Amino acid sequence: METIYKDAFDVVTDVRALVNVPAIVSLLDGGKVEPSVKSTGASKRGIVVNCNSISNTSQQIGFGSINCYAPAISSTVDNKPVQLPDQQTLSNLAKAVKKLVDGVYANTFHIWIESLPVIMQDTDGSYFANMRFRYQSIQTNFKNI
Amino acid sequence: MPVEKFTVGGIEKLRIGPAKSTPDAAVPTTGMIDITDFINPGSVTRTKNRDNIERLIADGKSVAYVTFRTPGDPNTIAIALLDQNPEVEQLLSNIVYDAATTTITELADRKLANVCIEITTAPLNGKKCIIFIPNVDASLSTADPLTYNNVEKFVIDGEIKSYMTTDNKEAISIKKWVTPAGTAIDSTP
């Protein structure tokens, strides 16, 4: 039997497939669900799925994030321009995504949200809702015992 | 010249099968199930117990006048499996397995299975060790809860029994070192 194991590429592919569905894409205003990095600018909505680690054990345990981006809202406070997170869009996006990936038992893996969405700011100033997931898979034919 | 090493660790292959009616030092050619892929890493433990000493010490002395040996616990082997393979379960416990519907019926009467176990260790320092235990009384139990972030384990607990060698000595197990390719090693100095 062929050895089946998951690396970070497989984790991102598996998780992205759960999120990259019409119900989510329609919320993105033309934005995309992308693996690992966001290719579009700060003015575009988007979702990025990434994987930080996956263990090489017979019961593989992986961790990663799903980041939901929404353009910041320009506002003026005390006569100064400020960029504020679009709370409502971020919240709606994050809630819609969480439903699709929390406690999913797929054929070759199992995933759940370990840490619920929080707002974070990216280096380009854009805001995103970050949720961390835990991913588990059984590696067949594991040899290092 | 470097000192000859006889290091034992890691598992390359672990097979389990029914013990022969007359256990001997030869690994059975049929009925052996390779359970290497099911092993919970770090769970295979061989325990070699020792006998106890009872001392008779004369009054005013500290050193025993005579010592008696009383048998200690038997040697044991424990193996935990991540997989509840029906073939393995059938070998070790009293079940009826219907492969057509993948249904296992566990019967009320528990069973103590008589098995043989062959462990091939991972090659260390250019040598691997084939441990063969021809006669083991083994029972099957489970460990760990059914939960979303873990799996329920099968635990094989074996008590090592003896067998007769071809030259009529009562023995319990064999350790044989071979090269990684499986060739016998001549360690004659």
Domain count, chain A: 1
Residue A123 lies in a domain: yes
Tell me how many residue pairs between chain A and chain B have CB atoms under 8 A apart: 28
* ipTM exceeding the 0.85 mark: no
Q: CATH number, domain at A34?
A: 3.30.2000.10
pLDDT value of position A2: 62
CA distance A31 to A29: 6
Residue A145 lies in a domain: no
Could you list the mean pLDDT of each consecutive 10-residue stretch along chain A, which spans 145 residues?
A: 82 96 94 93 93 92 96 92 93 96 94 95 90 92 78
CA distance B7 to B24: 25
Nearest to B146 by CA among B84, B79, B98: B84
The distance from CA A73 to its chain's CA centroid, rounded to whole angstroms, is 22
pLDDT value of position B130: 95
End-to-end CA distance of chain B: 11
CB contact under 8 A, A145 and B82: no
AA letter at A107: N
Residue A2 lies in a domain: no
Residue A3 lies in a domain: no
> For chain A, what percent of residues have pLDDT higher than 70?
98
pLDDT value of position B140: 95
pLDDT value of position B21: 75
AA letter at B86: P
Interior/surface letters B116-144, b for 16+ CB within 10 angstroms, e for the rest: bbbbbbbbeeebbbbbbbbbbbbebeeee
Nearest to A10 by CA among A54, A48, A46: A54
Range of A65's domain? Answer: 8-138
Q: Which of B41, B148, B150 sits opposite A112 (nearest CB)?
A: B148
Cβ–Cβ contact B60 with A under 8 A:
no
CA distance B110 to B82: 22
Indicate the pairing of strand B128-143 with strand B33-34.
unpaired
CB-facing half-sphere around the CA of A109: CA atoms within 13 A = 26
AA letter at B166: T
Q: Hunting for tokens 């013990």 — which residue is that?
A: B19
Residue A104 lies in a domain: yes
CB contact under 8 A, B41 and A145: yes
Could you list the mean pLDDT of each consecutive 10-residue stretch along chain B, which spans 189 residues?
A: 80 93 82 92 94 92 92 95 94 95 95 95 92 95 92 95 89 93 89
